[in-house]
Amino acid sequence: MLDAVEWMTWLGMAAIAAPVLLVVFLGVCSLLEQRLSEQAINRSIQAAIGVGLLSSLGVLMLMLALGTRHVVVYVSEWVNTAGFHVAVKFVFDRLSVPFAILSFVLTGTIAVFGSRYLHREPGYNRFFVLYAVFLLGMIMAALAGTIETLFLGWELVGLSSALLVAFYQERPGPSRNGLWIWCVYRVSDAALLLAAVVLHHMTGEGDFDRLLGTGPWPAGRASVSGTQAFIVGVLLLVAAAGKSGLVPFSGWLPRAMEGPTPSSAVFYGALSVHLGAFLLLRVSSLLERSVWLCAVIVALGLLTAVLAYLAGSVQTDIKAALSFASLSQVGLIVAEVGLGFRYVALVHLLGHACLRTLQFVRAPTLLHDYHTLENAIGEHLPRPALPINHLIAEPVRLRLYRLALERGYLDSWLRSYVVVPFVCLFRYCDALERRWTDFLTGARSRESDEVKPIPPRIEELL
Amino acid sequence: MSPLPIPWLEAAIFLALTGAASISRLHNLNRAWHWGVAFTGAVFACTLLASLGFYLQVPAETDAGWCLQQYLFGRPYLGLDELNAPLVPAVALLHFLTAAATARTKMRSYSLTWSLSAEAIHLAKFACKEPAILVVLLAVGAVLPLVELVNRRRPTRLYVLHLLLFVSLMLAGWRLLVTAGGDASRTTAATIALLAAVLIRCGVVPAHCWLTDWFEHSSFGIALLYVLPLSGVYAAIRLVLPIAPDWVLQGIGLVSLITAIYAAGMALVQHEVRRFFAYLFLSHASLVLVGLELHTSVSLTGALSLWFSVMLSLGGFGLVLRALEGRFGRLMLLEHHGLYEHSPTLAVCFLLTGLASVGFPGTLGFAAADMLVDGAVTVNLFAGIAVVATAALNGIAVVRAYLLLFTGARHTSTVSLKIGLRERVVVLTLVALILGGGLVPQPGISSRQRAAEEILEERKGHSNASDRSYPCPPALSSKRCYRIHPTARRQNLSAIPSLLGWRYLAEASPTEKAVCTKSNERALEPVFAETYF
């Protein structure tokens, strides 16, 4: 007969195994080009999410009943060599369990919404394969007990997000936006990977228990010095900023709205956008070792909140407005983490995710809702001006308006000072190489110059 | 009787050469292709059995009383050890899969004779630990692209210049080393010459243009097969790493790191698929060299694992690009092509193999990349940052290429452009290896760690020695030649004085043979063959 601890372990394993099996099932079918019906896809997703949610709730109940605040599910040694050790381990505690349950609830709800929204869409299967990858990434990241496991989930979330932004792939716009988002995510991933490696050096392994102290969240005390905490913390903050769209990476969030509404809702309204804040919450005992680091986090959070509020105020597209509204709240949550209000931040995160998901899924029918309301009251809905408008001088207000319209100039700044110089530099190198190879060859060296930008149709070649 | 003691390695090389000779006489393309696939498949099976024999510690053919190499050359020159045991079948697998995935439209441009000849040389090269033979094989192998370029009537001048430089530096370095006779300055000069040759072969900046030019002018499949095994890295490990002083290795590391970042940046701005692939490959090959330079156990294990990962993942990636080329001709990365709808499987495999090459979590390259970064950070934080930045740039380049090739307005075609059965089997085999190795990386990592430790001990043994020459001829220290019993290790080596004069096991006396079992060969390391050169 299993005892309570074994039950918790098995339930924990089931919560992780359910999305893994879902990805394997949908992924293998897609690779083998076995077309599944919409019904089969829906059922498999509902089954996986149902099992995962019930297992997570089971763990929560047992934890509450037993008064346990920290359950470790050890899966295996992933790599173990001299000087390098990585384990696959998951942790159920006061932070991870609510976030995992939130992930299951919201992805389950949106999966049902999405199955109707995308009914008979050509990319239906592709959407749900990527959606399953996203779910797996979220659960991995939420329950991760080592930084490497978190990195795995982090990357899966990033990849699925970028590809879902490019979901409507017939148009070039979504592809470009997907690429931009992927670029930002890669910066974020690089920072997280470096943080993981530096942590490895400090503690010998990537276990959060070793790094953040053995006490259950949030009572752990990190065993690193202030300087070490600052270095790792800055790397983690860059990673969080990229994933959550904090300054200076905020520009990707409205671009992400090119994706289908269901993915926008669950990714950028609810879960993915909060992953950076979740990461900071997870390592909060490390953050408190450095006052300067906390100050930077608070400043970055508040700056993001203000900028997102300004940018959101001038948006004319409902999804973009909602995305900036999300961002302003994420900024506040990050500031709360920096101030050390961990439970406040966690509750804020959970509540905001639920509210924003609801708003996103209502977004496509917003005009209908407005008309219904206006018909009900018999007049236009009131549009009050900002309460502080009269306190700001006209020139300043104009500057602010411009700043808001340009979304803080962040995108154009990144483009002008990072992307364009980078591309120009390497194109210049490419031109130099061309001259060099032409010189060595004694003729035009590149056959590829003769290739047409678009290949001829296959019928023309026959 | 177990079939494993048969000399499978020699059989593989012999089969490849026989296949090349037989197919060169066939004029029917389809028939030649069938025979080519059969030969490459048989060669792969032989190498697999040879590797299996090594890992199962099956007594070598020398113990069975008959050794083909000994019979032919008087002593064994080729053999498997921890480093090359998985690489040899991997090279054969690449050749087999490339031949099997060749579309009918590509049969004319893909020379199976060339492929089998190159395979024989590759296998001999990778199985050879004897420096003199390796130098010759590297020089002979470098001539093969010239043959291809001449056959295709493409410009050869650029390649010939690099080839001449490579071969002359290699031979000059070798000559200097042989005649150094303990002279430190001559040995250093020899090391630098060998190093320069290896760097040219690896294509580090600024001597990398031959590689992009090779991809421009050759058949894509042949171009892949020539570069993917990373012969330059093998040469670096066998020829340079054991004798190079630390400052030389730091030089390799710096140049390789610059190449890795430069090539990653160049891959991002390329307008054509082949050039994009060439730079992506260059970046990865340079990352492997970076790991070698750091020469810590973790970084070296990471580099060796990355080497294996690069071969398989970029092999799969290249084969997907080749399949696309077979359908649409050479593709530019200027517009969105919208190819997803034509073949979703190719799109998924493109993404999987491409991301595996940059060390995406859950794939073969992740643990390798993680260890490489870890090793780099141990030595220098900035080196670690550079390695991470390279991986990030490569990841962006892969997804950019994916979006340009597979997204965009779809155009209908009256001809099915779906992935064929053979292509599907080939690509899915590689995907299965990449994902399987990513989910269960421990066996692969352990094998690479043992190889790394062997390399490091070989280097350590060398640095403790008074003269700068190679340790005991590698063929002698091969596990297939002989090993010393642990009890003998603990004894004074002078107890078996004839050990110094041993050339191979067959010459040992029955008493000496008695102490030779399959255990540990470290006792041999302080023993230097003074008459070796």
Query: Which amino acid type is present at position B35?
Result: W
pLDDT in tens, B127-141: 987 888 899 999 999
Going by pLDDT thresholds of 50, 70 and 90, the confidence category of residue A97 is very high
Q: Burial-class residue A246 by CB neighbours within 10 Å (0-12, 13-18, 19+).
A: buried
pLDDT tops 50 at residue A353: yes
The DSSP bridge partners found for residue A88 are A76
The CA distances from residue A450 to A289, A444, A461, B272, in Å, are 60, 11, 17, 11
The CA distances from residue B517 to A113, A249, B129, in Å, are 68, 62, 21
Can you read off the two tokens belonging to residue A87? 């384990």
Range with lowest mean pLDDT among A100-114, A386-400, B89-103: A386-400
Contact A27, A34 (CB under 8 A): no
DSSP for B87-134, written as a single string: HHHHHHHHHHHHHHT--GGGTTTS-HHHHHHHHHHHHHHHHB--HHHH
Contact B275 A448 (CB under 8 A): yes
Q: How many CB atoms are closer than 10 A to CB B104?
A: 11
Q: How many CB atoms are closer than 10 A to CB B216?
A: 23
Residues belonging to chain B: 533
Residues 105-124 of A with CB under 8 A from B: 122
pLDDT tops 90 at residue A349: yes
Judged by a CB distance cut-off of 8 A, whether residue A200 touches chain B is: yes
Contact A179 B155 (CB under 8 A): no
Q: Domain extents for chain A?
A: 4-363
- Cβ-Cβ contacts under 8 Å, A79 against chain B: 367, 370-371, 441-442, 445
pLDDT in tens, A112-151: 999 999 998 888 999 999 999 999 999 999 999 888 899 9
- Measured between alpha carbons, how far is A13 from A143 in angstroms, rounded to an integer? 11
Query: Which amino acid type is present at position B476?
Result: L
pLDDT in tens, A418-448: 999 999 999 999 999 999 999 999 888 888 8
Contact B396 A182 (CB under 8 A): yes
ipTM of the complex: 0.92
Asked whether the bond before B510 is cis by omega within 30 degrees of 0, the reply is: no
DSSP-assigned letter for residue B515: T
Asked whether the CA dihedral B222, B227, B230, B232 is positive or negative, the reply is positive
pLDDT of amino acid B465: 54
Q: Which run of H or E residues covers position A70?
A: strand A70-81
| Shortest Cα–Cα distance, B334 to chain A (Å) | 6
- Measured between alpha carbons, how far is A294 from A289 in angstroms, rounded to an integer? 9
Query: Which residues contact residue B108 at a Cβ distance below 8 angstroms, ignoring those fewer than 6 apart?
Result: B29
- Measured between alpha carbons, how far is A104 from A101 in angstroms, rounded to an integer? 5
**Which residues of chain B register pLDDT less than 70?**
1-5, 58-75, 411, 462-533
- Region of B295 please: left (phi>0), alpha (psi -120 to 50) or beta: left
Query: Which amino acid type is present at position B358?
Result: V
Contact B367 A423 (CB under 8 A): no
Judged by a CB distance cut-off of 8 A, whether residue B491 touches chain A is: no
The whole-chain average pLDDT of chain A stands at 89
- Measured between alpha carbons, how far is B329 from B321 in angstroms, rounded to an integer? 10
Residues belonging to chain A: 462
pLDDT of amino acid B519: 36
Tokens 């690193």 found at: A224
The DSSP bridge partners found for residue B272 are B332
Query: Which residues contact residue B47 at a Cβ distance below 8 angstroms, ignoring those fewer than 6 apart?
Result: B8, B9, B12, B88, B89, B91, B92, B123
Can you read off the two tokens belonging to residue B42? 């048989």
- Cβ-Cβ contacts under 8 Å, B441 against chain A: 78-79
Contact A200 B374 (CB under 8 A): yes
Q: Domain extents for chain B?
A: 1-129, 149-244, 246-439
Q: Which run of H or E residues covers position B304?
A: helix B297-328
Task: Work out the average pLDDT over A342-365.
Answer: 91
- Measured between alpha carbons, how far is B338 from A414 in angstroms, rounded to an integer? 28
Query: Which residues contact residue A201 at a Cβ distance below 8 angstroms, ignoring those fewer than 6 apart?
Result: B374, B377, B378
Three-state SS for A92?
strand
DSSP for B220-247, written as a single string: HHHHHHHHTT-HHHHHIIIIITTT--HH
Minimal-distance CA residue of chain B relative to A130: B348
DSSP for A287-303, written as a single string: HTT-HHHHHHHHHHHHH
Judged by a CB distance cut-off of 8 A, whether residue B443 touches chain A is: no
Nearest to B202 by CA among B118, B263, B124, B268: B263
Minimal-distance CA residue of chain B relative to A461: B328
Query: Which residues contact residue A145 at a Cβ distance below 8 angstroms, ignoring those fewer than 6 apart?
Result: A72, A73, A74, A87, A89, A90, A91, A207, A208, A209
Three-state SS for A384?
coil
pLDDT of amino acid B273: 94
Contacts by residues A302-306 (CB-CB < 8 Å, ≥ 24 positions apart): A302/A331, A302/A332, A302/A335, A303/A247, A303/A331, A304/A245, A304/A246, A304/A247, A304/A250, A304/A328, A304/A330, A304/A331, A304/A334, A305/A329, A305/A331, A305/A332, A305/A335, A306/A331
- Measured between alpha carbons, how far is B61 from A1 in angstroms, rounded to an integer? 55
Max mean pLDDT among A345-354, A362-371, B71-80, B421-430 falls in A345-354
For chain B, helix (H) and strand (E) counts, in that order, are: 22, 0
pLDDT of amino acid A236: 93
The CA distances from residue A398 to A325, A402, A405, B243, in Å, are 21, 6, 10, 69
Task: Please tell me which of the candidates A81, A425, A458 has its beta carbon nearest to residue B449.
Answer: A81
- Measured between alpha carbons, how far is A185 from A159 in angstroms, rounded to an integer? 8
The CA distances from residue B12 to A135, A156, B89, in Å, are 47, 41, 10
Query: Which residues contact residue A302 at a Cβ distance below 8 angstroms, ignoring those fewer than 6 apart?
Result: A331, A332, A335
The CA distances from residue B145 to A70, B148, B217, in Å, are 61, 5, 10
pLDDT of amino acid B136: 92
Contact B282, B211 (CB under 8 A): yes
- Measured between alpha carbons, how far is B204 from A25 in angstroms, rounded to an integer? 43
Question: CA B216, B219, B222: angle at the middle one, nearest 5?
Answer: 115
Judged by a CB distance cut-off of 8 A, whether residue B141 touches chain A is: no
Minimal-distance CA residue of chain B relative to A423: B269
Query: Which residues contact residue A304 at a Cβ distance below 8 angstroms, ignoring those fewer than 6 apart?
Result: A245, A246, A247, A250, A327, A328, A330, A331, A334
| Shortest Cα–Cα distance, B21 to chain A (Å) | 31
Contact A8, A93 (CB under 8 A): no
Contact B355, B429 (CB under 8 A): no
Three-state SS for A387?
coil
Task: Work out the average pLDDT over A71-86.
Answer: 85
Q: Which run of H or E residues covers position A410?
A: helix A410-414
- Measured between alpha carbons, how far is A41 from A419 in angstroms, rounded to an integer? 40
Can you read off the two tokens belonging to residue B250? 């730091």
Contact B443, A81 (CB under 8 A): no
- Measured between alpha carbons, how far is B86 from B94 in angstroms, rounded to an integer? 13
The DSSP bridge partners found for residue A207 are A146
- Cβ-Cβ contacts under 8 Å, B367 against chain A: 78-79, 86
- Measured between alpha carbons, how far is B304 from B432 in angstroms, rounded to an integer? 20
Contact A326, A273 (CB under 8 A): yes
- Measured between alpha carbons, how far is A8 from A337 in angstroms, rounded to an integer? 29
Task: Please tell me which of the candidates A179, A445, A462 has its beta carbon nearest to residue B400.
Answer: A179
pLDDT tops 70 at residue A302: yes
- Relative to beta strand A70-81, strand A84-93 is antiparallel
- Measured between alpha carbons, how far is B145 from B231 in angstroms, rounded to an integer? 14
Contact B413 A458 (CB under 8 A): yes
Task: Please tell me which of the candidates B216, B334, B407 has its beta carbon nearest to residue A453.
Answer: B334
DSSP-assigned letter for residue A364: G
Contact B347, B354 (CB under 8 A): no
pLDDT of amino acid B479: 37
